[in-house]
Structure 1
Amino acid sequence: MKNKSLGLNAFLNGLRSVLNIIFPIITFPYVSRVLSVGEIGKYNFSNSFIQYFILIAGLGIATYSVREGAKFRGDRQRLSEFASQVFSINIISTIGAYVLLFFCLLLFNKLHAYLASILIFSIQIIFTTLGTEWIYTIFEEYTYITIRSIVFKILSIIALFIFVRHRGDYLNYAAITVFSAVGSNVLNYLHAKKFCDIRLTLRINWSEHIKPILVIFASSIATTIYLSLDTTLLGLMKTDYVVGIYSVSTKMYNIVKNLIAAVLTVTIPRFALLWGRKRVREFRNLLLQISDVLALLSIPTAVGVYMLAPQIVLLLSSQKYIRAVTSLRLLCPALVFSIFSWIFASCVLIPAKRESKVLLITIISASLNLILNIILIPLFAENAAAFTTSLSEFISMLLDIYFCRDILKGIYGKKFWKDVLLYILFSMTIIPICLAGSVLFESTIAIIVFDVGISVIEYVLLLIGVKNSNAIELVDMVITRLND
């Protein structure tokens, strides 16, 4: 099968990420004004809580399937057999997740206040399994995924303005969120027949699949602990108001991180393919290229979000959420750390079948996150949660580098580190631009447009001035598109 263009895939996945950004940018300011801070807190607590059961249902199968399935994408029969086995395992784990969820709802009285919203969000569990998103990742089918996202995001925005109009409509908001996230997954399951034949089967090679799946699953649990436990602990140790404030910070953090990560996500199946077929030189070259691009993007983004935090909070919500500025700024370092941690874990350690190292790394990071959250949240509330997230991502990145140091040896030479230093220095020019924007304009939107526009232009011009290859290729691509 012909390889898909990584550039095109990055563009399409970037477009899909932009759509995921536009959706909350359009919806959250509206919702935050219609609903109370407490209702936003209930919404986020329920959504955060159900993510643990989505994780249990997923069982690490998506990551495992991309790694192993990429080797079979030219052989429909072998891929169909593989896909049917992992899908059947996924159905079993989904049933187990629902049993555990209902047990928790019966056992813990505190959850009864969130019962309706939790049950709505629980619909995601089965539809995520049916979605078989990993098949489309294996085949790098980002065109289909992007078109599907456009359709369902538009429908969701229309539904939001129709059904979320008064205080108390947070359950409608939850249902629309579920529809937006997994509404198309039945179509995914049916459309997947284009690539392979998926069916339920009892003929499962458990000895081959279960160990790597469980190791990846354990890693996913630990990762979820330090990504989601902060919200859960805030809900248990503080109030819905505090969760509502923190949700504004994490909303923007996740929006920006996912946009940058769109470049990385499309390369994961390619890394698995190259390593699986022992094309080591191509693997190393691609790793260097992707690392350089992500450093170029993530460093100035972190600086920009830090400087524009007050305006971002006001744009996404309203003055009543302005307290979220501090926690958003504390999350900014994690924008860089999490991206590079993801590179080394998903693009190096997992393809190299070192998932046991990923498990160890995530256990250490998650344990640190848990301990610090328990100690600091009573004292510093949402700011403690933000700080521990950044620290955990940093520790995770360092440990990832350590455990794949033999593979990384010789990849990152002087040129790479010189480029990183330039990205840091050029990113510092964003600071005076943002300070000037706050003096020149009063409108939140005007400040953001001015700061982002001038900062991007200056950053690109500086990179072109030092003949940075990535910046020059970007400008050439834009000029080519405009001339077409």
Structure 2
Amino acid sequence: MQNKSMRENAFYNTIKQICTGLFPIITIPYTTRILGAENYGRVNFCISIISYFVLFAGLGIATYATRQSAILKNNKKDLDKFTSQLFTTHIIMSIIALLLLFFLLLICKGLYQYRILLMVQSFMIVFNIFNIEWIYSAFEDYKYTTICTIIVQIISLIFLFTFVREPSDYIIYSIIYVISYSGMYLLSFFNVKKYTRVKITKHPNAIKHILPMLILFSNELMVTIYVNSDITLLGILSNDENVGIYSVAVKAYTVFKRMFGAVIVVMLPRLSYYYIYDKKGKYNELLRKAFNCIILLIFPVSIGMLFISDELMLLLGGKAYLVGSNSLRVLSIALIFSTIANFYATSVMLPSKQEKKLLLITVVSAVVNIGLNLIFIPKLGFLATALTTMIAEIIVAILSSLYSKKIFVPKIKLNFLIDILIGIVAIIIICLFIEQFEFNYILKLILKVFLSVLMYATVLLIRKNEIAINILKKKK
């Protein structure tokens, strides 16, 4: 197996996810002010609908292919055959998804006013056919996809600031969104020949792949439901303005979530390999190191996010969106549980092929999330959507850890937890101290982030935290 540096992989994929996350962070302050909460809400409501069709067309292919191609990567003939079969299957499913979308537009009168937006965004389904990032993941080549992502985001930014100038330009904004979403897929597709040959085949062998893909698809569907149903139901039970306000809070939350997800997802190909060929050795060692790193970072990030919620909402949307700060605070707590749940699902349950158990977990969380949304959205508005997201993430984290305990049980030393606790207390004190001054919100944001990071790192070094010391040694 080709052993590239895990740190290098994590670095490039983190950069990629940060760039993907920074794109909305950079564009949101502009688009929310230009388009207004109502038009911005319309766009995000339609994106939440299209996401289900993109997911249906994908049929769980990406996750299944990432795991399987990591095993087949040393056999080019088998890999070429496998890749072509999944590519052909994806084309077939995308055609079906487009037909279902057009049928929905014909029968659902409530969506008629959104028809142009939905037609524009339907190209996300088409371009997603070329999403074969899983090949790069299998060969642990995150550098190329990161470069492509940066190029596409820069081009999209230029288009945005050039062509989106007034509220009526929300259709143009949707086109640019599709470009930012799909451009990297096209660039990476035409370079994939260095690893495998992708072509349409007359024999996709769907029966062989369909069962494991359906299980993964069902799991991804349930995840999408409890992630996107908030915005979908908020749009149905409330109004476009509330969707716009909540969408800003979700975008900020998603940036931090992606940063941790980027580190976790790069481990899937190697963990799948280790689980088969070296189950009790490198597999458990990698899990232990990864879990400790995640715990060391997720708590200060979550607490820090809680204390900069007002500044983030002002930065991203302005005063009109400040009412969404409490939703962002709730989501900052949800971040802890979503990251832990993601770790167990991606790093333990998927490599050990526990897709059925993972599906059960996500079904339970999705049902709870939808049920609570239907009850509380009419009463609490977008605050309810944040609370139900947090509850869903807690359920997934608890259940996934229970199902994973036969394979992996984290062992965290008391001193390690004390390091984190002292660091968190230091962050809280700094943020509360800065709140006492009448600074501009941008200055407050900068001071809180910079001083919190500095203080937390200092606490870890003073306490001689093992991970912090090792990082410092490697930097030197």
Shift in Å at residue 188 of structure 1? 1.9
* Aligned-residue offset at 1:374: 0.5
Determine if contact 1:295/1:420 at 8 Å carries over to the other structure.
no
Query: Do 1:73 and 1:139's aligned partners in 2 also have CA atoms closer than 8 Å?
Result: yes
How do 1:66-465 and structure 2 match up within 5 A? 66-408=66-408, 411-415=409-413, 418-465=415-462
What corresponds to 1:60 in structure 2? 60
> How many residue pairs get matched?
476
Q: Provide the C-alpha distance between the structure 2 equivalents of 1:155 and 1:60, rounded to a whole number of angstroms.
A: 29
Structure 1 residues 439, 180: closer, same or farther in 2, change over 3 A? same
Residues 71, 276 of structure 1: 8 Å contact kept: no
Counterpart secondary structure, 2:168: coil
Q: Deviations over 1:198-255 (max 9, x none)?
A: 1111323334311110011111111111000000000000000110110111010001
Q: Which runs of 5+ in 1 are unaligned?
A: none
What's the CA shift for 1:395? 0.5
State the alpha-carbon separation in 2 of the partners of residues 355 and 223 from structure 1: 13
Pair 1:184–1:14, CA change in 2 (3 A):
closer
User: Is the CA contact 2:419–2:465 (under 8 Å) kept in the aligned structure 1?
Assistant: no
- Distance between the aligned counterparts of 1:279 and 1:6, measured in 2? 18
Q: What letter matches 2:306 in structure 1?
A: Y
Mapping for residues 14-25 of structure 1, pairs under 5 Å: 14-25=14-25
> How much has 1:330 moved relative to structure 2?
1.0
Structure 2 residue runs without a partner (length 5+): none
Q: Which residue of 1 aligns with 2:467?
A: 470
Kept after mapping to 2: 8 A contact 1:463/1:471: yes
- Within 1, Cα distance between the matches of 2:418 and 2:240? 42
- The CA distance in 1 between the partners of 2:101 and 2:31, in whole Å, is 28
CA contact (8 A) 1:59 1:217 kept: yes
Contact 2:291 2:410 in 1 (8 A): no
Q: Secondary structure at the match of 1:64?
A: helix
Opposite residue 430 of structure 1, the aligned amino acid is I
**Could you give the per-residue CA deviations for residues 429-482 of structure 1, whole angstroms, max 9, x where no partner exists?**
21121122222351111111111111111111111122212212333344x3xx
- Output the CA distance in 1 between the equivalents of 2:239 and 2:176: 25
Q: Distance in 1 between matches of 2:241 and 2:272?
A: 43
With over 3 angstroms needed to count, the CA separation of the structure-2 counterparts of 1:88 and 1:430, relative to structure 1, is same
**Shift of residue 425, structure 1, vs aligned partner:** 3.7
- Superimposed CA distance per residue, residues 73-127 of structure 1 (whole angstroms, 9 cap, x where no aligned partner): 1121111111111111111111111111111111111111111111111111121
In percent, how many aligned pairs have the same letter? 37
Distance in 1 (alpha carbons) for counterparts of 2:269 and 2:438: 45
1:186 CA displacement: 2.2
C-alpha distance in 1 between matches for 2:412 and 2:326:
36
TM-superposed CA distance for 1:30, in Å, is 0.9
Query: Distance between the aligned counterparts of 1:146 and 1:414, measured in 2?
Result: 33
* TM-score, normalised with respect to structure 1: 0.96
Deviation at 1:12, TM superposition (A): 1.0
Q: Give the partner amino acid of 1:466.
A: R
Q: For residues 318 and 69 of structure 2, what CA distance do their matches in structure 1 show? A: 46
Segment of structure 1 superposing worse, 187-196 or 159-168: 187-196
Q: CA deviation at 1:421?
A: 4.6
CA distance in 1, matches of 2:222, 2:412: 35
- Per the normalisation by structure 2, the TM-score is 0.97
Return the letter of the residue paired with 1:341. Answer: A
Q: Pick which of 133-142 and 417-426 moved more.
A: 417-426
What is the CA–CA distance in structure 2 between the aligned matches of 1:221 and 1:22, rounded to whole Å? 26
Q: Is the 8 A contact 1:66 1:272 kept in 2?
A: no
Give the Cα separation in 1 of the matches to 2:114 and 2:431: 41
* 8 A Cα contact 1:331 1:389, kept in partner: yes
Contact 2:250–2:328 (8 Å) recurs in 1: yes
